[in-house]
Amino acid sequence: MKYLNVFDVAGPVVWPLLGMAVFGLTIFFERATFFQKVQINASDFLDGIINLLKKNRSLEALTLCEETRGPVAAIVRSALLHRNSSKLEIQDAIQSVAMLEIPILSKRQRLLGTVAGLSPMLGLLGSVLSCLDSLQKLRSPLIAANLNPDFSSALLTTALGLSIAVLAYCGKEFLRSRVDSIIRDMEWTAHGIYRYLTLEVQGNKRVSSSTFLEADSS
């Protein structure tokens, strides 16, 4: 009953504020769960892939990439599919996947920023509406009795709006830090697999050239 009393005192603006709070929490937990699933140990994953490639088990390496979720595995998979291509083609393949994956990581984060921006404005709107209502009630003989709940309403909506804004902003910054962490993993993995594959291609070319020269001299 006390909670219902608070909602009554706070006025109608409290309901859209609560709706925004629920909306923001839903986005935050959905994104946090998504990042938990797609972020892997990039170092261990790349080491495993390179070990398989060194053992000429490229099919197993590709299968591992396909079975592993996330942008890191997608980048390695794209590089492996262009393993026998030129350096530029390998680089283009990696960049193409990165350009597709990064927007997926940043998906819905702007909505949290919208919640953080709109919540205090809604709270202030509630305050303004309460003050306007108070001015109307100044004509009543029971001034003190009428003004007390209205001031409570103004304070409650402002406090609620600011609280939601602070939480939404913190949630957005947390998610952005996760995105930055995954992007760093992507960059590190892309550099590692590119370096390995280009050195491997150069090594194969040297082997082919030496084999050709030996055959020619014989």
Residue 131 neighbours by CB distance under 10 Å = 14
The answer to the question of residue 130 being in a domain is: no
- In the chain, the number of structural domains is 1
Token pair of 162, please? 């600011």
pTM of the model: 0.78
Kindly state the tokens that stand for 216: 């020619």
140: phi then psi, degrees, rounded to nearest 5: -80, 150
Would you tell me how many other CB atoms lie within 10 Å of the CB of residue 39?
18
Is residue 128 one of the residues assigned to a domain? Answer: no
Q: Along the 218 residues of the chain, how does pLDDT read in single tens digits?
A: 444 455 665 667 888 999 999 999 999 999 999 999 999 999 999 999 999 999 999 999 999 999 999 999 999 999 999 988 888 999 999 999 999 999 999 988 889 999 999 998 988 888 777 777 666 666 665 555 555 555 666 678 888 899 999 999 999 999 999 999 999 999 999 999 999 998 865 555 443 333 323 434 44
Angle (nearest 5°) at CA 55 between 45 and 77? 40
> Measured in whole angstroms, how far is the alpha carbon of residue 177 from the centre of its chain?
8
Rounded distance between C-alpha atoms, residue 64 and residue 80, angstroms? 11
Neighbours of 204 (CB within 10 A): 11
Residue 190 lies in a domain: yes
Task: Report the alpha-carbon distance of residue 213 to residue 218 in Å, rounded.
Answer: 9
Parent domain of 77: 12-119+167-217
The structure tokens 């609280």 sit at 163
Q: Which of 125, 151, 126, 123 is nearest to 137 (CA)?
A: 151
Contact 122, 17 (CB under 8 A): yes
Query: Is residue 105, in this structure, part of any structural domain at all?
Result: yes
Residue 138 has phi, psi (to 5 degrees) of: -60, -20
Distance between CA atoms of 215 and 203, rounded to whole angstroms?
A: 18
Note whether residue 158 is domain-resident.
no
**Distance from the Cα of residue 186 to its chain's centroid:** 14
Give pLDDT, residue 210: 38
Q: Give ∠ CA 73-32-35 in degrees, rounded to 5.
A: 5
CA 5 – CA 109 distance, rounded (Å)? 34
Helix (H, G, I), strand (E, B) or coil at 153: helix
C-alpha 116/C-alpha 172 separation (Å) is 9
Q: Judge whether 69 lies within some domain.
A: yes
Residue 162 and residue 170: Cα distance in Å, rounded? 12
Residue 203 lies in a domain: yes
Residue 152 included in any domain: no
